[in-house]
Structure 1
Amino acid sequence: MQPRVGVVAGRRPLPVSDIDRAIEFYRDKVGFNLDHNTTNEHMHVAQLTPPGSGCSIVVGDLPAQSEMAPGSMRGLQLVVADARAAREELLSRGVEASEITVFDERDGGTFFGFSDPDGNTWAVQELKVRAGKPLIPAESRGRFGE
């Protein structure tokens, strides 16, 4: 599975109640890369990125990161080349995912969804064009720790 963050429904960090649990979920179950995890006496902030994506999520406990209630982010979107394969991979990792819905037979019209442990929701959109034309070319991915 090569998910890409396609649409972010806001400009705030992802609101979670437990940063370590969120890191474990997004890294170990969804498959995001943990780019950094900074903890000191003033803060705990982590950034996670889907492999090959140009967009990341951030979780943390700075004041700006506490403005939204945990689980209140709705409609974040991942883009995958094969929705069925991505759904099966998430299910095999213990992520509860909805059934696949085809709104339109054309590319981009197939979706399923899942939620993180706090209830933040994600839509996963199938864009087959991403299989042959990824957002970040394979030769450029090394700089992102892949």
Structure 2
Amino acid sequence: MNWKIEVVPIPVTDVDRAKAFYVDQVGFNADHDQQVDETLRFVQLTPPGSACSIVMGTGLVDMPPGSQKGVMIVVPNADEALQHLTDQGVQARGVEELEWGRFVYFADPDGNEWTLQELPSYS
């Protein structure tokens, strides 16, 4: 039996603002944006190269905006990821060097917090 995490909900106050942040600044791909009816909108975005997406919208998530903490994305190079984010106007901090990787941190406009991890190389 295979179990795959494919979609993580991100609670936001303004779907258009959040979509613009993740697509235009962070660099996610806009996969799907559907206004199903007057109470339900489904927006799915995917980090480049990822098999897991995020979903946001209206009528989808029963969490307060900004309450998603600690979603982690593995990146090949933390320095390049930090540079990309800051070049796009994202307030990011790092690179933090730990035994289990190199880390960059940022938050979206609602305060949902993200961690980017460059895995350590064991040679």
**Pairwise TM-score range, normalised by the shorter structure:** 0.7 to 0.9
Structure 1: runs of 5+ lacking an equivalent: 1-7, 130-146
**1:22 CA displacement:** 0.7
Give CA deviations for 1:78-106 in whole Å, capped at 9, x if unaligned. Answer: 110000011001100000001211011xx
Q: Is the 8 A contact 2:70 2:114 kept in 1?
A: yes
Amino acid at match of 2:34: T
Measure how far apart 1:128 and its partner are: 6.7
How far apart in 1 are the matches of 2:120 and 2:71? Answer: 19
Aligned equivalent of 1:123, options 110, 115, 121? 115
2:34 to 28, 35, 38: 38
Number of aligned pairs? 115
Residue 47 of structure 2 is matched in structure 1 by 50
CA distance change for structure 1 residues 112 and 38 in 2, over 3 Å: closer, same or farther? same
Comparing both structures, which one devotes a greater share of its residues to strand? Answer: 2
1:26 aligned partner? 22
SS in 2 for 1:99: strand
1-side partners of 2:101 and 2:12: how far apart? 29
* Deviation sequence 1:17-42 (CA, Å, 0-9, x none): 00001100000000000001011324
Higher helix share: 1
Q: TM-score, normalised by structure 2?
A: 0.86
- Identity among equivalent pairs (%): 47
CA distance in 2, matches of 1:84, 1:122: 16
- Where has structure 1 moved over 4 Å in runs of 4 or more? none
Q: Flag structure 2 segments of 5+ consecutive residues without an equivalent.
A: none
Structure 1 counterpart SS, 2:115: strand
* 8 Å Cα contact 1:82-1:128 kept in structure 2: no
- The residue aligned with 1:101 is 96
Q: Does 1:80 align with 2:80?
A: no
